[in-house]
Structure 1
Amino acid sequence: MKRPNEDETSAGFWYRLKSGRLPLKYYYAGALIIFGVVILFISSGGTEEQEISITPEREEINSSTEDQEKNEQTSTSLKAGDDYAAAFEGELQDHLEAISGVSNVQVMIRTAGSEEKVFEKDRTARHQQTDELDQEGGERRVEEGTAEETIVFERQGDADQPVLKQTRTPEVTGVLVVADGVEHMKVKEWVIEAVTRALDVGHHRVAVLPKSEVEEDE
């Protein structure tokens, strides 16, 4: 019996495919292959879209967190500066009203930054010197130095507390004084002198003005 060659078998297969005479198993196999390709394509595309959508969200969250931390630090610094200024405003107002001819004083102080605490530190410095020979027989001297600082603590009650060395007050950038009586030049000079000495600021940073007559009538 003559066996069909490869060309005849292939031609017969395509003929039966076109005429719809192939067994059902071929159609099932073809459908499964197509279905698998579609699933792989969808899975690949979906993963890329997911990565694209997730990455910006993470970046946005990180950026938002950093901005929030910066805003909180700035807000804390401004609040500390405002508290310091408010404390000095009340104290300065009391002293200015004690000056002869001055009354109904209002004070506004502007500062840069906030109060800074400086703690006592132990400092350790080390210096090392080494003489070396290079490959050509020459000598060279290598010097290295290190410095370390550690905050000093002392026992207070049941806990160790850092030793406070000094407290640096924020720089005063401007002072406004509004009061009765400063329309007289001599009284105004007294007020300016008192403010500049009390806050250690230059005369150009101090403004002294009389209260308006409308406010006095009210």
Structure 2
Amino acid sequence: MNNKEGFFHKLKSLLGQSDSKKPSKYQYFILVFVLGVAFMLVSNLFSSKDNQTNDIVPTSSSSSNESTEVFKQEKGEKTGSISDYEAEYENQLKEVLETISGVGNVSVVVNVDSTETKVVEKNTVTGSQVTKETDREGGKREVEDQSTDEQVVIIQEGEKEVPIVVQTRKPEIRGVLIVAQGADNIHIKKTIIESVTRVLGVPSHRVAVASKKMKEDE
């Protein structure tokens, strides 16, 4: 009670009133206005503190191994250039096709897209962070942030570091042209196309077969 009376005495002294005089309407208005402003300031203070408290969930991570295509071999390396692959395919097809009955004097042109492709081992680490937020109206929401980090697995080989190669893929063949005697026969032409598509694993629309003209006797 003494504290409350002391508080009101201070207010009266600020308003210029003594115990014997009653406060005027104007002074009551000032008192109500001061109390209202103080209440609003205290309310905003607590509300802002609630908005700034976000719960951070520890980041969870997992590791896995993953393979991916990387650099292609350049010309002059042990695997050979594009022209070396094309020449190898051409020689093999010519040798095989000339053994087919009714087929002779075969010429082959093979067009490859690139040299071989190496697939290397990769470590993939994924993490996620969840942030919980609360607004002034009491609404809650969660914001999730995910991250992925990939690194090629490197090993020491002699004096240099090299990636771990898990697979080597042959170059993709863009097109094949076969010119041979006997290809004017529809059955022989069909046999040539089926042989090339099965051996090289290319679709039939990438294989063209034409009949070679006979050389005139001298």
Aligned amino acid, residue 193 of structure 2:
I
Task: Give yes or no for the alignment of 1:164 onto 2:165.
Answer: yes
Alignment root-mean-square deviation, CA: 2.8
Alignment partner, residue 154 of structure 1: 155
What per-residue deviation string (whole Å, max 9, x for no partner) do you get for residues 190-209 of structure 1? 21111111222222221112
* Partner Cα separation in structure 2 for residue 135 and residue 100 of structure 1: 87
Change (3 A) 1:95 1:158: farther
- For structure 2, the 5+ residue unaligned runs are 1-73
What per-residue deviation string (whole Å, max 9, x for no partner) do you get for residues 59-113 of structure 1? xxxxxxxxxxxxxxxxx79x95444323322222222223233232211122345
Q: CA deviation at 1:158?
A: 4.0
Alignment partner, residue 108 of structure 1: 109
SS at match of 1:90: helix
| Greater per-residue helix proportion | 1
* Partner Cα separation in structure 2 for residue 120 and residue 174 of structure 1: 31
* Partner Cα separation in structure 2 for residue 175 and residue 181 of structure 1: 18
Alignment partner, residue 145 of structure 2: 144
SS at match of 2:196: helix
Aligned amino acid, residue 204 of structure 1:
H
* Partner Cα separation in structure 2 for residue 120 and residue 100 of structure 1: 47
The answer to whether the 8 Å contact 1:97/1:105 transfers is yes
* Partner Cα separation in structure 2 for residue 136 and residue 114 of structure 1: 63
* Partner Cα separation in structure 1 for residue 120 and residue 126 of structure 2: 19
Alignment partner, residue 196 of structure 2: 195
| Greater per-residue strand proportion | 2
Q: CA deviation at 1:164?
A: 1.6
The answer to whether the 8 Å contact 1:102/1:187 transfers is yes
Aligned amino acid, residue 146 of structure 1:
S
Task: Give yes or no for the alignment of 1:99 onto 2:100.
Answer: yes
Alignment partner, residue 210 of structure 2: 209
The answer to whether the 8 Å contact 2:193/2:204 transfers is yes
SS at match of 2:102: coil
Give the TM-score normalised by the residue count of structure 1. Answer: 0.54
The answer to whether the 8 Å contact 1:84/1:115 transfers is no
* Partner Cα separation in structure 2 for residue 88 and residue 192 of structure 1: 15
Change (3 A) 1:144 1:153: same
SS at match of 1:201: coil
Aligned amino acid, residue 85 of structure 1:
E
Alignment partner, residue 9 of structure 2: none
The answer to whether the 8 Å contact 1:128/1:143 transfers is yes
Alignment partner, residue 91 of structure 2: 90
Alignment partner, residue 20 of structure 2: none
Query: What is the number of residues matched between the two proteins?
Result: 141
SS at match of 1:213: coil
* Partner Cα separation in structure 1 for residue 113 and residue 217 of structure 2: 36
Q: CA deviation at 1:178?
A: 1.0
* Partner Cα separation in structure 1 for residue 89 and residue 136 of structure 2: 69
Q: CA deviation at 1:119?
A: 1.3
The answer to whether the 8 Å contact 1:125/1:146 transfers is yes
The answer to whether the 8 Å contact 2:181/2:214 transfers is no
Give the TM-score normalised by the residue count of structure 2. Answer: 0.54
Aligned amino acid, residue 213 of structure 1:
M
Q: CA deviation at 1:114?
A: 4.7
Q: CA deviation at 1:211?
A: 1.5
